[in-house]
Chains A and B, each alone.
Chain A
Amino acid sequence: MKKNQAILITVVLLLLGWELLIRGLHVPMYILPPPSMIFLSLMKEWKLLIFIHLPSTLLEVLIGLFLAVLMGVVVAVLIVFSRIGGKVLYPLVIASQTIPLVALSPILIMWFGYSIWGKVAITVLISFFPIVVNVVDGLRATNEEWIQLMKTMGASPRQIFWKLQIPHALPSFFSGLKVAATVSVVGATIGEWLGASEGLGFFSRRASNNLQADLLFASVFLLSLIGIAFFLLMQWIEKRSIPWFYQMKKIERKR
């Protein structure tokens, strides 16, 4: 409760300061609109934003994130458990993060047209990286002594994988998932900037081209809300999936 209050007060103060500064310095609307203007345009366009553009961005994020988790986990397992995987796949995954996405856009449009899949592709490209890196770290962090103990119990590699390495990597996986959930919104937005006919990214680009800063900020506001919502959702799932990890951290902090 205390924490939420503090956050609320901070946000209100920031908005107030912003509003006063803009009004005091007579900053023109197209440079930086005050929060009140952003709120007004949000009210004006809310039907369009909430019923047309938000769902389309949300869908891209959901599909992209789902595929990113699937691919990220599979690729991470290949990297850790196959000899070629670690040598070839990991450098490739890292290289994939250096692709300038803007340069990719004509190709993506050629491949997928203006369909949702071009946006999904960029979302996946951005958000599967934190998952791969974290799952690889999590799987590699399994202590050799632990594996040895399971071997003396007669455990097969399969049992070692499912009973030791997977649960051991879960906290790390969830760290990656929280980052991925947040950047997936960025991915979908970039995708829409590069070519789309709807979505919050598309909307913000149009507003930007028309120098409608208030509309631009209104859509950015909604995008941040999606990002925060996804982060919180993942955190909620994490707390329910690995309650022992939270308890352990709490007790260790007290010691």
Chain B
Amino acid sequence: MSILKAIDITFGFEHDRLILRKCSFEIGENEFISLVGLSGCGKSTVLKLIAGLYPPQEGRLEYAHGAQLGKIGFMPQQDLLMPWRTVLENAALPMEIQGVNKREAQRRVLELLPIFGLQGYENAYPFELSGGMRQRVSFLRCVLTGHQMLLLDEPFGSLDALTRREMQLWLTETWQKWKQSVLLVTHDLDEALLLSDRIFVMTSPQEGPYYEIKVPFPKPRQPSQVYTKEWLDLKEKMTTFLYKKREIK
């Protein structure tokens, strides 16, 4: 059962420089997909297309859960926390917009704060936090939209390598319980292999469907697997694909 079907999508900000041309893909329910690609190839734009912020120029998007704005959790590349709101108020924003009562919204935030490593920071302002903590608040805010599908734009981008790995492992364990579908944008191939069922490798411009890797390893995966031959082979396959496409251009 798929939660999203993209059919022959064409999109570009200027018509002589398309980002997608007749690109089709499908995301299944409870499926974890990573989207990798070189900087500037249009990964963030794809997320915004799916979120419903831009209408595709051609083709269509079919959602299992109806109209898209307000139905998909979106975590932007910059944390975009509001400096006039505390951690608690920032994380509660999507529920506030949905009309959830304030006490209930705060209860749900406080319940998840420890899991996100933010216990005791509910009354802190964003500018008092480190970059990594801000990103986790933004992540928490996205999860608290409560939607079936989450779009994550480099959620661990500004974390240090150790914290990043910790968050990745945490994500592999928890997201199964939530039964949400995830489309995650990343530059980090290990991250993609560690977390995903499938990986979409994106080129610039993207003509037709994505080059796709089905990750064969059973989940949850261990960080030590990063050094196995199968793992490295898959990584090499993706790297070669990314750079070969670039050379042809």
Chain A residues in the interface with B (C-beta under 8 A): 143, 145-146, 148-155, 159, 163-164, 167-168, 170, 242, 244-245, 247-248, 251-252
Contact = CB atoms under 8 A, between A and B. Distances in A.
Interface of B: 48, 51-53, 69-74, 76, 78, 80, 82-84, 93-94, 96-98, 125, 127-128, 145
7 contacts: A145-B76, A145-B78, A152-B69, A153-B145, A244-B83, A244-B84, A247-B127
B70 A153 contact: yes
A167 B98 CA distance: 20
B97 A159 contact: yes
Given A152-B73, A153-B74, A153-B97, 7 more contacts: A148-B48, A148-B76, A152-B52, A153-B145, A154-B71, A244-B84, A247-B127
Given A163-B93, A251-B128, A154 B83 contact: no
B76 A149 contact: yes
Most buried by B among A151, A159, A167, A245: A151
Given A152-B52, A155-B97, A167 B125 contact: no
Nearest to B44: A145
Given A148-B48, A151-B53, A164 B82 contact: yes
Contacts of A159: 97
B98 A154 contact: yes
A90 B53 CA distance: 30
**Main SS class of interface, B:** loop
Most buried by A among B52, B71, B80, B84: B84
A247 B84 CA distance: 10
B74 A149 contact: yes
Contacts, number: 64
Q: Which of A146, A153, A155, A252 has the most CB of B within 10 A?
A: A153
Given A152-B74, A153-B70, A154-B69, A146 B80 contact: yes
B125 A244 contact: yes
B80 A145 contact: yes
A251 B69 contact: no
A163 B74 CA distance: 18
Contacts of A154: 69-71, 97-98
B80 to A, nearest CB: 5
Contacts of A163: 93, 96-97
A149 B96 CA distance: 14
A228 B76 CA distance: 44
A248 B96 CA distance: 24
Contacts of B71: 154
Nearest to B68: A152
B69 A167 contact: no
Nearest to A144: B53
Contacts of B69: 151-152, 154
Contact of B125 (A148, A152, A248): A248
